[in-house]
Structure 1
Amino acid sequence: MSDSIKVSVVIPLYNAERYVGACLNSILSQSLKEIEVIVIDDCSTDNSLEIVKYFNDNRLIVLRNEENQGVTKALNRGINLASGEYIARMDADDIAFKDRLKIQYEYFQENNNIDILASQVVYLHECSESGEVKFNMKHKELTDKKIKGVMLAYNPLMHPTVMFKNNEKAIYDETVNVSQDYMKWLDLLHSCNFSIIKRPLLFYRVTEGSVTNSSKNNKIERHSIIMDKFNKKNNISISKKELKNYLYAIHSPNKSEISMGMLDQTFNLYKNHLYNSIKCSSIIEYRFGYIWLSVLVNRRSYKRIFSKWTVKGSVYILYKIIKDTQCKISFLINKKYNENIKL
């Protein structure tokens, strides 16, 4: 590890000739200068590598795999070479805000207990005909307990915004080639502290082939792979049928075949695991309650409406409405203020 390098940015690269130039421009022009940028080309078949080599910057390290190995191994190769105090993730098709690395680095200096830090994003919907840029209003600033409390239901961290400490926990599980970030966060659930800052620090590109824009079936399949591994690693006894029931309750628009009794049992198993291991079971109860209510409404069956999950879900929805309203009001006030300043 080098004292002079504060952050190592690791970028896995595969056939991103349309975007990698803008990506590298955004990273190499960061306000934080004490960085290195490690690009691992995973045997691109287009002009991606040639575009990267065009950049003349001694902070840039470019390597090419001899054969295509996938994102996870490319990431680990870059991480093993990193000499910075912290490692920042970046995808070759995204664009970082100018102060991204500076803001995250300073956050770590002020919060020594945090191990993994993410931020919000501004979505670039390339698949939209209008090319509209949408501000992400879904998530607010999340503390460690809130992140861990929802982690078994969904992955709240945007992977390309993540920065983490450069230590033995930095490596990804190479047996996982899809949603490797989600697997990593679940593996570190018990040993690391997380945080998500509320301001966006990255333009996140959504294309027709991206994970964010993928079908519900693909999301269920990926989520199933990760949760099955998590269950085995943590000795949580949930059958494949129970896991499928749980994931369909989260992701599927058609919830008519979901067993409420089985869902209740799965909720309790995960809640107890979180309580026994990291003491944040109350947060996941509200998220599970929200899922429970969505199933009841979709099925138009209210036989279990007096369940404890219904109460938790109702409180969660009320809280979400209040917080979303506060966020939108704040956003509009800041927008108006900024317009007045420009005038």
Structure 2
Amino acid sequence: MNVPEISVLLPYYNAEATLADAIDSVLAQQGVDFELILIDDGSTDSSSKVAGRYHNDPRVVAHSHANMGLAATLNVGIELARAAIVARMDADDIARPGRLRSQVAYLNVHPEVNLVGGQINRCVDGVVDSQSNFPLEHSEIVTLLRVGGHALSHPAIAFRTEAARRVGGYWGEGVAEDWDFYLKMAETGRVANLPEVVLDYRFHDAGINAENMRLVRTNIALATENHRRRVSDRAELSATDFRTNTPLALRIRIESETRSLTAYRRGLRTAGTRRLMWLSIASVMGPQFAARRLLSNRHQRER
């Protein structure tokens, strides 16, 4: 078999309602030779039957295992990938036409770049609510990541396979595996974003749970702290050590970020005065996020 230009890594777990749309959006990509690696992470619904409809497509590679979680499943996919470039996809998102071609072309022209993302449409109930304005350049992206700001969208990235293997892939600490991965890739090369939209990102109720968001923000703080330690030749902290010794000021910041982002996601799921209420709460609890959203909206109006 010919080696593809890019391997698309699409893990899924209980995604029967959205999986076919995600797969179709990848298989519709043109202008680039790709393989689509579908990994069933121990689904208990009908996801495997949905995926099975595509197994006869020669571009599809199917794999399944008992439930391992996202990070471990992604590491399996990185090892399965035959191409020099891997693109990420989630089972509830839609790849925009031309996404793979654009990211492969960018990485081919920029050998110093390990990882490239792109802009996303934030979609609620199938309707585009807003568009990201992620920074394009390495220094701006890393600066934002180091303070816990969203500078990349995980299902929208493409990266060099060997670079991912060199940094050890994704960590085993659970959620925020993407943050740790971004920073490790940025330490060994450069990272970037394309200016164009490459993905329709679906917001849904599963992302609103405050306890899950608190764990995400805690692990993002751990990822950024360990990044600082690595670049200054200090030993990394385990998740247990970090949580045991988290300073009070950082715990307060994590809590405010958690409440802000939970309220923001609730606001996206509502309309009218309730939407305004939730977005106002998000702004009060996380003024740093509110400022970025306002700046993003201004840039969108100027386009």
Using the size of structure 2 for normalisation, the TM-score is: 0.76
The whole-number CA distance in structure 2 between the counterparts of 1:250 and 1:103 is: 36
- The gaps in structure 1 that reach 5 residues or longer are 256-296, 300-312, 331-343
The whole-number CA distance in structure 1 between the counterparts of 2:152 and 2:26 is: 20
Matched, 1:169 2:164: yes
Query: Which residue number in structure 2 is paired with residue 62 of structure 1?
Result: 62
Q: State the SS of the aligned residue for 2:217.
A: helix
What amino acid maps onto 1:144 in structure 2? H
Query: Which residue number in structure 1 is paired with residue 11 of structure 2?
Result: 12
Aligned in 2, Cα 1:323/1:13: closer, same or farther, shift over 3 Å?
A: closer
The whole-number CA distance in structure 1 between the counterparts of 2:257 and 2:77 is: 39
- Kept in 1, the 8 Å contact 2:171–2:180? The answer is no
Match of 2:253 among 230, 243, 249: 249
Q: State the SS of the aligned residue for 2:146.
A: coil
Pairwise CA RMSD: 3.1
Give the superposition deviation at 1:254: 10
The whole-number CA distance in structure 1 between the counterparts of 2:63 and 2:169 is: 19
Give the superposition deviation at 1:81: 1.0
Query: Which residue number in structure 2 is paired with residue 50 of structure 1?
Result: 49
Query: Which residue number in structure 1 is paired with residue 129 of structure 2?
Result: 134
Give the superposition deviation at 1:168: 4.4
Query: Which residue number in structure 1 is paired with residue 120 of structure 2?
Result: 121
What amino acid maps onto 1:90 in structure 2? M
Q: State the SS of the aligned residue for 2:113.
A: coil
The whole-number CA distance in structure 1 between the counterparts of 2:138 and 2:199 is: 21
- Kept in 2, the 8 Å contact 1:220–1:248? The answer is no
The whole-number CA distance in structure 2 between the counterparts of 1:254 and 1:106 is: 37
Deviating above 6 A after TM superposition, structure 1's stretches of 4 or more consecutive aligned residues are 236-239, 319-323
What amino acid maps onto 1:167 in structure 2? E
Give the superposition deviation at 1:224: 4.0
Aligned in 2, Cα 1:43/1:229: closer, same or farther, shift over 3 Å?
A: same
Aligned in 2, Cα 1:220/1:247: closer, same or farther, shift over 3 Å?
A: farther
Give the superposition deviation at 1:219: 3.8
- Kept in 2, the 8 Å contact 1:7–1:84? The answer is yes
Query: Which residue number in structure 2 is paired with residue 264 of structure 1?
Result: none
Give the superposition deviation at 1:236: 7.8
Q: State the SS of the aligned residue for 1:209.
A: helix
Give the superposition deviation at 1:104: 0.8
Q: Larger radius of gyration, structure 1 or 2?
A: 1
Matched, 1:328 2:293: no
Query: Which residue number in structure 2 is paired with residue 158 of structure 1?
Result: 153
Q: State the SS of the aligned residue for 1:151.
A: helix
Query: Which residue number in structure 2 is paired with residue 197 of structure 1?
Result: 194
Q: Which moved more, 1:163-172 or 1:8-17?
A: 163-172
Aligned length: 263
The whole-number CA distance in structure 2 between the counterparts of 1:244 and 1:173 is: 28
The whole-number CA distance in structure 2 between the counterparts of 1:119 and 1:244 is: 35
Using the size of structure 1 for normalisation, the TM-score is: 0.68
Deviation per CA, 1:35-68: give whole Å up to 9, x if none. Answer: 0011111110011011111113101011110x21
Aligned in 2, Cα 1:322/1:228: closer, same or farther, shift over 3 Å?
A: closer
Q: State the SS of the aligned residue for 1:91.
A: coil
Deviation per CA, 1:262-315: give whole Å up to 9, x if none. Answer: xxxxxxxxxxxxxxxxxxxxxxxxxxxxxxxxxxx979xxxxxxxxxxxxx9xx
Give the superposition deviation at 1:253: 6.5
The whole-number CA distance in structure 1 between the counterparts of 2:299 and 2:73 is: 41
Query: Which residue number in structure 2 is paired with residue 97 of structure 1?
Result: 96
What amino acid maps onto 2:63 in structure 1? L
Q: Which moved more, 1:83-92 or 1:245-254?
A: 245-254
The whole-number CA distance in structure 2 between the counterparts of 1:254 and 1:202 is: 25
Query: Which residue number in structure 1 is paired with residue 271 of structure 2?
Result: none
Deviation per CA, 1:78-120: give whole Å up to 9, x if none. Answer: 1101111200000011110121001111111222221100011
The whole-number CA distance in structure 2 between the counterparts of 1:26 and 1:75 is: 20
The whole-number CA distance in structure 2 between the counterparts of 1:219 and 1:202 is: 22
What amino acid maps onto 2:43 in structure 1? S
Give the superposition deviation at 1:218: 3.9
5 Å-filtered alignment, 1:251-270, equals 252=256
- Kept in 1, the 8 Å contact 2:3–2:82? The answer is no
5 Å-filtered alignment, 1:221-232, equals 221-227=218-224, 229-230=226-227
Aligned in 2, Cα 1:321/1:167: closer, same or farther, shift over 3 Å?
A: same
Q: State the SS of the aligned residue for 1:122.
A: strand
The whole-number CA distance in structure 2 between the counterparts of 1:4 and 1:62 is: 17
